[in-house]
Amino acid sequence: MLQNPLISVVIPCYNDGAYLPETISKLKEQTYTHFEIIVVNDGSTDQKTLEVLHELSNDGVIVLHKQNGRMSSARNYGVKHAKGSIIAALDADDYFESSFFSKAIKILDEKPAVAVVTSHIQLFGDFSQVARPRGGNAFNFLFSSECPACAMVRKSCWDEIGGYDENMKMGYEDWEFYIRITKKGWLVEVIQEKLLFYRQTAGSTHKNDTIPHRQELINYIIDKHHDWYVENLKKLVASKQVLYTESRIALPTIFKMLMNRLKKKYL
Protein backbone atom coordinates (compact mmCIF):
# COMPACT_ATOMS: atom_id res chain seq x y z
CA MET A 1 0.00 0.00 0.00
CA LEU A 2 1.48 3.34 -1.06
CA GLN A 3 1.27 5.79 1.80
CA ASN A 4 1.37 9.29 0.31
CA PRO A 5 4.61 8.54 -1.60
CA LEU A 6 6.97 11.31 -2.60
CA ILE A 7 7.16 11.80 -6.35
CA SER A 8 10.40 13.09 -7.83
CA VAL A 9 9.71 14.96 -11.04
CA VAL A 10 12.85 14.79 -13.17
CA ILE A 11 13.11 17.32 -16.01
CA PRO A 12 16.16 17.41 -18.31
CA CYS A 13 16.78 20.85 -19.78
CA TYR A 14 19.03 21.86 -22.64
CA ASN A 15 18.39 25.45 -23.77
CA ASP A 16 14.65 25.11 -23.08
CA GLY A 17 14.33 28.06 -20.72
CA ALA A 18 11.54 29.58 -22.80
CA TYR A 19 9.21 26.71 -21.88
CA LEU A 20 10.31 25.81 -18.36
CA PRO A 21 8.23 28.42 -16.45
CA GLU A 22 5.03 27.08 -18.02
CA THR A 23 6.04 23.49 -17.31
CA ILE A 24 6.75 24.28 -13.65
CA SER A 25 3.56 26.32 -13.34
CA LYS A 26 1.49 23.41 -14.65
CA LEU A 27 3.17 21.06 -12.17
CA LYS A 28 2.08 23.28 -9.32
CA GLU A 29 -1.54 22.74 -10.42
CA GLN A 30 -1.39 19.00 -9.71
CA THR A 31 -4.08 17.80 -7.31
CA TYR A 32 -1.52 15.44 -5.75
CA THR A 33 0.96 17.76 -4.10
CA HIS A 34 3.59 15.56 -2.42
CA PHE A 35 6.38 15.93 -4.97
CA GLU A 36 9.77 17.51 -5.52
CA ILE A 37 10.91 19.06 -8.79
CA ILE A 38 14.40 18.32 -10.10
CA VAL A 39 15.58 20.15 -13.21
CA VAL A 40 18.80 18.83 -14.73
CA ASN A 41 20.69 21.49 -16.67
CA ASP A 42 22.33 19.35 -19.33
CA GLY A 43 25.06 21.82 -20.27
CA SER A 44 22.80 24.61 -21.51
CA THR A 45 24.57 27.41 -23.39
CA ASP A 46 21.62 29.79 -23.80
CA GLN A 47 21.87 32.75 -21.41
CA LYS A 48 18.11 33.09 -21.06
CA THR A 49 17.86 29.43 -20.00
CA LEU A 50 20.61 29.93 -17.41
CA GLU A 51 18.73 32.93 -16.01
CA VAL A 52 15.49 30.96 -15.79
CA LEU A 53 17.27 28.10 -14.03
CA HIS A 54 18.74 30.53 -11.49
CA GLU A 55 15.29 31.97 -10.81
CA LEU A 56 13.80 28.51 -10.37
CA SER A 57 16.52 27.51 -7.91
CA ASN A 58 15.41 30.45 -5.76
CA ASP A 59 11.81 29.27 -5.95
CA GLY A 60 12.13 25.83 -4.38
CA VAL A 61 13.10 23.89 -7.52
CA ILE A 62 16.17 21.65 -7.27
CA VAL A 63 18.47 22.58 -10.14
CA LEU A 64 21.39 20.27 -10.94
CA HIS A 65 24.13 21.12 -13.41
CA LYS A 66 26.15 18.72 -15.56
CA GLN A 67 28.02 18.58 -18.84
CA ASN A 68 25.90 17.89 -21.90
CA GLY A 69 25.23 14.17 -22.27
CA ARG A 70 21.81 14.17 -23.92
CA MET A 71 18.48 12.95 -22.54
CA SER A 72 19.41 9.49 -21.20
CA SER A 73 22.32 10.86 -19.21
CA ALA A 74 20.30 13.79 -17.87
CA ARG A 75 17.38 11.62 -16.75
CA ASN A 76 19.68 9.16 -14.99
CA TYR A 77 21.55 11.99 -13.29
CA GLY A 78 18.31 13.44 -11.96
CA VAL A 79 17.07 10.08 -10.69
CA LYS A 80 20.34 9.50 -8.82
CA HIS A 81 19.56 12.63 -6.80
CA ALA A 82 15.86 11.86 -6.36
CA LYS A 83 14.44 11.33 -2.89
CA GLY A 84 11.07 9.97 -4.02
CA SER A 85 10.00 6.35 -4.42
CA ILE A 86 8.20 7.34 -7.63
CA ILE A 87 9.79 9.07 -10.63
CA ALA A 88 7.75 11.32 -12.91
CA ALA A 89 9.83 11.80 -16.04
CA LEU A 90 8.93 14.98 -17.89
CA ASP A 91 10.47 17.01 -20.70
CA ALA A 92 11.15 20.72 -20.22
CA ASP A 93 8.63 21.85 -22.83
CA ASP A 94 5.76 19.47 -21.97
CA TYR A 95 3.28 19.18 -19.11
CA PHE A 96 0.77 16.88 -17.41
CA GLU A 97 -2.89 17.71 -16.83
CA SER A 98 -3.60 18.52 -13.18
CA SER A 99 -5.12 15.13 -12.28
CA PHE A 100 -2.39 12.92 -13.73
CA PHE A 101 -0.36 12.40 -10.56
CA SER A 102 -3.44 11.47 -8.52
CA LYS A 103 -4.71 9.01 -11.12
CA ALA A 104 -1.31 7.45 -11.77
CA ILE A 105 -0.53 6.98 -8.06
CA LYS A 106 -3.88 5.23 -7.61
CA ILE A 107 -3.01 2.77 -10.38
CA LEU A 108 0.42 2.03 -8.92
CA ASP A 109 -1.19 1.51 -5.53
CA GLU A 110 -3.85 -0.88 -6.79
CA LYS A 111 -1.79 -2.78 -9.37
CA PRO A 112 1.59 -3.98 -8.05
CA ALA A 113 2.52 -5.53 -11.43
CA VAL A 114 2.39 -2.11 -13.10
CA ALA A 115 5.73 -0.29 -13.10
CA VAL A 116 4.92 2.56 -15.48
CA VAL A 117 1.86 4.76 -15.96
CA THR A 118 1.28 7.23 -18.76
CA SER A 119 -1.75 8.45 -20.72
CA HIS A 120 -3.06 9.41 -24.11
CA ILE A 121 -1.14 12.35 -25.54
CA GLN A 122 -2.29 15.68 -26.90
CA LEU A 123 0.34 16.97 -29.31
CA PHE A 124 0.32 20.76 -29.63
CA GLY A 125 2.43 23.57 -31.03
CA ASP A 126 3.47 23.32 -34.67
CA PHE A 127 0.64 20.84 -35.24
CA SER A 128 -2.16 19.23 -33.24
CA GLN A 129 -2.80 15.50 -32.99
CA VAL A 130 -3.83 12.89 -30.44
CA ALA A 131 -1.59 9.86 -29.82
CA ARG A 132 -2.89 6.76 -28.05
CA PRO A 133 -0.02 4.49 -26.93
CA ARG A 134 -1.04 0.96 -25.93
CA GLY A 135 1.37 0.23 -23.09
CA GLY A 136 0.98 -3.39 -21.99
CA ASN A 137 3.54 -6.18 -21.80
CA ALA A 138 6.76 -6.93 -23.69
CA PHE A 139 5.01 -8.16 -26.85
CA ASN A 140 3.61 -4.68 -27.46
CA PHE A 141 7.11 -3.19 -27.49
CA LEU A 142 8.60 -5.50 -30.11
CA PHE A 143 7.84 -3.32 -33.11
CA SER A 144 7.35 0.15 -31.64
CA SER A 145 7.44 2.14 -28.43
CA GLU A 146 4.03 2.10 -26.81
CA CYS A 147 4.82 4.56 -24.04
CA PRO A 148 6.29 8.08 -24.17
CA ALA A 149 9.31 9.08 -22.11
CA CYS A 150 7.03 11.35 -20.05
CA ALA A 151 5.56 8.88 -17.58
CA MET A 152 5.44 7.83 -13.94
CA VAL A 153 7.84 5.00 -13.01
CA ARG A 154 8.48 3.13 -9.80
CA LYS A 155 12.00 4.08 -8.74
CA SER A 156 12.68 0.52 -7.59
CA CYS A 157 12.03 -0.63 -11.16
CA TRP A 158 14.16 2.19 -12.61
CA ASP A 159 17.05 1.18 -10.35
CA GLU A 160 16.58 -2.53 -11.04
CA ILE A 161 17.10 -2.16 -14.79
CA GLY A 162 19.82 0.49 -14.49
CA GLY A 163 17.92 3.46 -15.92
CA TYR A 164 18.29 4.71 -19.47
CA ASP A 165 20.99 3.49 -21.85
CA GLU A 166 23.33 6.48 -22.08
CA ASN A 167 24.80 5.21 -25.35
CA MET A 168 21.52 6.14 -27.02
CA LYS A 169 21.84 9.85 -27.77
CA MET A 170 19.75 10.27 -30.94
CA GLY A 171 16.38 9.01 -29.68
CA TYR A 172 14.35 5.84 -29.05
CA GLU A 173 16.07 5.59 -25.67
CA ASP A 174 12.60 5.47 -24.09
CA TRP A 175 11.59 2.53 -26.32
CA GLU A 176 14.67 0.56 -25.29
CA PHE A 177 14.08 1.52 -21.65
CA TYR A 178 10.56 0.08 -21.73
CA ILE A 179 11.76 -3.07 -23.46
CA ARG A 180 14.03 -3.75 -20.50
CA ILE A 181 11.23 -3.00 -18.04
CA THR A 182 8.67 -5.27 -19.71
CA LYS A 183 11.27 -8.02 -20.23
CA LYS A 184 11.38 -8.21 -16.43
CA GLY A 185 7.64 -8.95 -16.38
CA TRP A 186 6.50 -5.45 -15.41
CA LEU A 187 3.49 -3.89 -17.14
CA VAL A 188 2.94 -0.41 -18.58
CA GLU A 189 -0.53 1.09 -18.08
CA VAL A 190 -2.01 3.86 -20.19
CA ILE A 191 -4.78 6.05 -18.78
CA GLN A 192 -7.36 6.44 -21.54
CA GLU A 193 -7.45 10.22 -21.21
CA LYS A 194 -5.42 13.06 -22.72
CA LEU A 195 -3.34 13.91 -19.65
CA LEU A 196 0.05 14.50 -21.31
CA PHE A 197 0.56 17.59 -23.46
CA TYR A 198 3.50 17.11 -25.81
CA ARG A 199 4.84 20.22 -27.54
CA GLN A 200 5.82 20.04 -31.22
CA THR A 201 8.56 22.43 -32.34
CA ALA A 202 10.96 22.76 -35.26
CA GLY A 203 13.84 21.92 -32.95
CA SER A 204 12.44 18.66 -31.56
CA THR A 205 14.84 15.76 -31.01
CA HIS A 206 12.47 13.36 -32.76
CA LYS A 207 12.38 15.42 -35.94
CA ASN A 208 16.04 16.42 -36.09
CA ASP A 209 17.85 13.42 -34.62
CA THR A 210 15.63 10.34 -34.29
CA ILE A 211 14.06 10.23 -37.75
CA PRO A 212 17.37 10.75 -39.63
CA HIS A 213 19.00 7.99 -37.51
CA ARG A 214 15.98 5.67 -37.35
CA GLN A 215 17.59 2.64 -39.03
CA GLU A 216 20.74 2.94 -36.96
CA LEU A 217 18.71 3.16 -33.75
CA ILE A 218 16.52 0.18 -34.63
CA ASN A 219 19.62 -1.84 -35.46
CA TYR A 220 21.08 -0.98 -32.05
CA ILE A 221 17.91 -2.02 -30.19
CA ILE A 222 17.51 -5.30 -32.06
CA ASP A 223 21.18 -6.19 -31.72
CA LYS A 224 21.14 -5.42 -27.99
CA HIS A 225 18.07 -7.60 -27.44
CA HIS A 226 18.83 -10.18 -30.13
CA ASP A 227 17.89 -13.35 -28.23
CA TRP A 228 14.73 -11.79 -26.82
CA TYR A 229 13.56 -10.72 -30.27
CA VAL A 230 14.12 -14.17 -31.74
CA GLU A 231 12.30 -15.96 -28.91
CA ASN A 232 9.31 -13.64 -28.87
CA LEU A 233 8.96 -13.52 -32.64
CA LYS A 234 8.74 -17.29 -32.64
CA LYS A 235 5.99 -17.16 -30.03
CA LEU A 236 4.05 -14.41 -31.81
CA VAL A 237 4.20 -16.01 -35.22
CA ALA A 238 3.28 -19.45 -33.86
CA SER A 239 0.24 -18.01 -32.08
CA LYS A 240 -0.65 -15.62 -34.93
CA GLN A 241 -0.51 -12.63 -32.61
CA VAL A 242 1.70 -10.28 -34.63
CA LEU A 243 0.31 -6.76 -34.27
CA TYR A 244 0.42 -4.72 -37.48
CA THR A 245 1.61 -1.15 -37.08
CA GLU A 246 0.88 0.34 -40.51
CA SER A 247 -0.29 -2.13 -43.15
CA ARG A 248 -1.29 -5.76 -43.29
CA ILE A 249 1.65 -7.97 -44.20
CA ALA A 250 1.63 -11.75 -44.25
CA LEU A 251 3.03 -13.27 -41.07
CA PRO A 252 5.69 -15.30 -42.92
CA THR A 253 6.90 -12.12 -44.62
CA ILE A 254 7.30 -10.30 -41.29
CA PHE A 255 9.08 -13.27 -39.75
CA LYS A 256 11.46 -13.70 -42.70
CA MET A 257 12.29 -9.97 -42.81
CA LEU A 258 13.11 -9.72 -39.10
CA MET A 259 14.99 -13.02 -38.98
CA ASN A 260 17.15 -11.88 -41.89
CA ARG A 261 17.96 -8.71 -39.96
CA LEU A 262 18.75 -10.67 -36.81
CA LYS A 263 21.03 -13.00 -38.76
CA LYS A 264 22.70 -9.94 -40.34
CA LYS A 265 21.87 -11.01 -43.89
CA TYR A 266 21.33 -7.34 -44.72
CA LEU A 267 21.71 -3.97 -43.00
> Quick one: three-class SS letters along the chain?
CCCCCCEEEEEEECCCCCCHHHHHHHHCCCCCCCEEEEEEEECCCCHHHHHHHHHHHCCCCEEEEECCCHHHHHHHHHHHCCCCCEEEECCCCCEECCCHHHHHHHHHHHCCCEEEEEEEEEEEECCCEEECCCCECHHHHCCCCCCCCCEEEEHHHHHHHCCCCCCCCCCCHHHHHHHHHHHCCCEEEEEEEEEEEEEECCCCHHHHHHCCCHHHHHHHHHHHCHHHHHHHHHHHHHCCCCCCCCCCCCHHHHHHHHHHHHCCCCC
Give the confidence band of 266 by pLDDT, cuts at 50, 70, 90. very low
Of 87, 203, 221, the C-alpha closest to 167 is: 221
Phi, psi (deg, nearest 5) at residue 45:
-115, -10
User: pLDDT value at position 73?
Assistant: 96
Instruction: List C-alpha distances in Å: 105 to 110, 122, 135, 152, 212.
Output: 9, 21, 17, 8, 36
User: pLDDT value at position 79?
Assistant: 98
pLDDT digits (tens, 9 = 90+) for 13-35: 999 999 999 999 999 999 999 99
What's the whole-model pTM score? 0.87
Give the lowest-confidence range in 84-88, 177-181, 248-252: 248-252
Check whether 120 has a pLDDT greater than 80: yes
pLDDT digits (tens, 9 = 90+) for 180-230: 999 999 999 999 999 999 998 776 666 666 788 888 999 999 999 999 999
Mean pLDDT, residues 62-83 taken together: 96
Mean pLDDT, residues 160-182 taken together: 95
Check whether 119 has a pLDDT greater than 90: yes
Q: Are 60 and 84 in contact (CB under 8 A)?
A: no
CATH architecture of 7-224: Alpha-Beta Complex (3.90)
Phi, psi (deg, nearest 5) at residue 43:
70, 40
User: pLDDT value at position 112?
Assistant: 97
Q: Are 72 and 99 in contact (CB under 8 A)?
A: no
Phi, psi (deg, nearest 5) at residue 122:
-100, 110
Q: 181's torsion region: left (phi>0), alpha (psi -120 to 50) or beta?
A: alpha
